[in-house]
Amino acid sequence: MRLFNTMTKEVEDFVPFFEGNVSMYCCGPTVYDSTHLGHLRKYTMDDVLRRTLQFMGYKVKHVMNITDVGHLTDDADMGEDKLEKGARRSGKTVWEVAEYYTQIFHESMQAMNVLPPHIECKATDHIPDMIALIKELERKGYTYTTEQAVYFDVTKFARYTELSGQKLADKKTAVRDEVVEDPQKKHPADFSLWFKRVGRFADHTMHWPSPWGDGFPGWHIECSAMSMRYLGPHIDIHTGGIDHIPVHHTNEIAQSEAATDKHPFVKYWVHHNFLHVEGEKMSKSLGNFITIDDIKRKGFHPMALRLLFLQTHYRQQMNFTWSALAGVQKTYEKLNTILSKATPTYHDAQNISRIFHEALADDLNTPRALAEIFALLDEGKYNHVSAALDILGITTESKPEEPIPEHIVRLAQERAQAKKTKDFARADELRERIEQQGYRIQDASDHRFRLVKKT
Ligand SMILES: [Zn+2]
C-alpha cells in the first residue's frame, strides 16, 4: 500500500508502527448542523480507506470523535461556539442540538454504507482527559493563562509549522488586521486550550470546573486528548479535510507531541479535498446545501452517490452535478440487475484482478479501480465485479427507497412558510394533513425540515 502523506508531500510506502495493525483517527463532525454532501464524501472516502486496508489484511482500529463543544465559528478561536449558534438558531438547547445532528449524521452514514468507527467518542464525555492534557502542557511550560483563556504558546514548539509549511511570521501578517479578541494573547497563532466562562463566553451553556476556572475546552485539544486515550501517543493514519492542515491539525501535532515528547504523533496525514456543487462552493445562501435526504427525495440511491464519489480521487477537488449523479444512477441500476445472481466467494475477492488491487494500493486510486470494475463487467466476470464492489462498500442487493411524493413535499414547504410568518394554526393544520397521508415532519433549524415515511 502506498499513501500520500501531507507531512512529506510524497506518496510513501505504508508501514504502520506495529506490523499488521493500523490505528486510524478520523476527525469527526461538529454536530450543530446537517450532514451535507461534503461530509458524505469525506466519511465515505475514510470508509474506503479503512475497507481497503482491511481487505489487504490489516487489522484496523478506527476512532472518530464527535465535536459537541468548543468548536468556534472560526477555526482560529474567533467567533462563537458552533453549538451555541445552532441552539440560538433553532430554539433548542445545545444538548438537544448535539443529539439531533448526531442522529442525522448516523443516519447519513448508514445510508452511505459507511462502517461505524470502532470507537466513536464525544468531546463532552472526555473533559477530564482534556484537563489532564492541558495540565501536562502547563507543567512543561507550553502554556500561559490570560483573563479569558489558557493558550498554547506556539513559539515554544519548534516544529509548529512543519505540516503546513507556512512561516510563523506569515501567520502574524495574515491575521494582523483582524479584530483582536483577547488583547493579552501573545502571538496571533497561539490557540486556546481552555476558554474561561468570562467576557464573550460569560453565558456559555456548556461549562465545567477546571484548575483555570469554570469554562470549556478548545476544539483542538479534544482531538489530541481523545486520540491519545484510545490510540496512544502514536497514530498510523490521521484523516481530515485539507482545511484542517494549517490550524486544526497543526495545533493537534503541537499539543500531542509537546505533551508526550513522542515524535511523530502521526505517521501518515491523509487529507481530503473539497467538494463543489455545480461549480460553486456549497453554502446555505446559495441554496445548494445538499443532504442525503435531498438525494433520496429526488429518487437517487445513496449507493449511486457512493459510486459517483469514487470516480474522483480523494485528493482531487470534486464537482458534484445532478446530471452526473443521474448518469451514475443508471449505471448503478444496471449493476443491480446484472449482479442480482452473482455469488462471489472469498476466492473471487482475492482474484479480482491485479489491476484492481494495484489501483487501490496506489494511494487509493478509486477512479482507476472503478474503470477496472467496468472492464471486468464487459468481460462478463460478474462474481469478480460483485466482490470488487463489496470491497469498495457498494451494495447492490438493496432496493432504492421510495422518494417522497411531490405533493407531500409541497405541503411541507407551505408549512415551513407558515411557520416563518408565525401562522402557527395554518402550520399545525398542514402538519396534520401530512401525517394523515402517512408522512412525518421533523423540524431542523433555519426552517429546514425532514420528511420521513411513517412505518
Ligand atoms: Zn480533529
Q: Please write the tens of the pLDDT for every residue from 256-307.
A: 999 999 999 999 999 999 999 999 998 777 778 899 999 999 999 999 999 9
Distance between Cα 104 and ligand 1 center (Å): 20
Residue 125: count of CB within 10 angstroms of its CB: 11
Cβ atoms 218, 247 nearer than 8 A: no
DSSP 8-state symbol, 31: T
Distance between Cα 282 and ligand 1 center (Å): 21
What is residue 154's predicted lDDT score, i.e. its pLDDT?
96
Distance between Cα 258 and ligand 1 center (Å): 17
What is the C-alpha separation between 98 and 66, in angstroms, rounded? 9
Distance between Cα 28 and ligand 1 center (Å): 7
Distance between Cα 439 and ligand 1 center (Å): 37
Q: Provide the pairing of β-strand 78-81 with 119-122.
A: unpaired
- Which residues does 309 contact at the CB level (< 8 Å), separation at least 6? 40, 41, 44, 45, 318
Distance between Cα 106 and ligand 1 center (Å): 18
Distance between Cα 63 and ligand 1 center (Å): 11
Q: Provide the pairing of β-strand 10-13 with 191-196.
A: unpaired
Distance between Cα 164 and ligand 1 center (Å): 16
Q: Which element (helix H / strand E) includes 281? A: strand 280-281
Distance between Cα 316 and ligand 1 center (Å): 21
Distance between Cα 284 and ligand 1 center (Å): 24
Distance between Cα 222 and ligand 1 center (Å): 7
Distance between Cα 249 and ligand 1 center (Å): 7
Distance between Cα 322 and ligand 1 center (Å): 31
Distance between Cα 220 and ligand 1 center (Å): 6
Distance between Cα 24 and ligand 1 center (Å): 12
Chain-centre distance for alpha carbon 112: 13
At 364-375, the pLDDT tens digits run 999 999 999 999
Distance between Cα 241 and ligand 1 center (Å): 10
Distance between Cα 27 and ligand 1 center (Å): 4
What is the C-alpha separation between 201 and 220, in angstroms, rounded? 18
Distance between Cα 214 and ligand 1 center (Å): 23
Residue 426: count of CB within 10 angstroms of its CB: 15
Cβ atoms 445, 90 nearer than 8 A: yes
Distance between Cα 236 and ligand 1 center (Å): 15
Residue 113: count of CB within 10 angstroms of its CB: 17
What is the C-alpha separation between 103 and 108, in angstroms, rounded? 8
Rg (CA), the chain: 24
Distance between Cα 25 and ligand 1 center (Å): 9
Distance between Cα 139 and ligand 1 center (Å): 24
Q: Which element (helix H / strand E) includes 366? A: helix 366-378
At 2-18, the pLDDT tens digits run 999 999 999 999 999 99
Residues in the chain with pLDDT < 70? Answer: 171-180, 397-401, 444-446, 455
What is residue 284's predicted lDDT score, i.e. its pLDDT?
73
Distance between Cα 274 and ligand 1 center (Å): 17
- Which residues does 181 contact at the CB level (< 8 Å), separation at least 6? 77, 78, 148, 200
Distance between Cα 223 and ligand 1 center (Å): 5
Distance between Cα 65 and ligand 1 center (Å): 7
Q: Which three cell numbers stand for residue 101?
A: 445532528
* CA dist list (Å): 310 to 27, 128, 306, 328: 20, 40, 6, 11
Distance between Cα 84 and ligand 1 center (Å): 19
Distance between Cα 442 and ligand 1 center (Å): 29
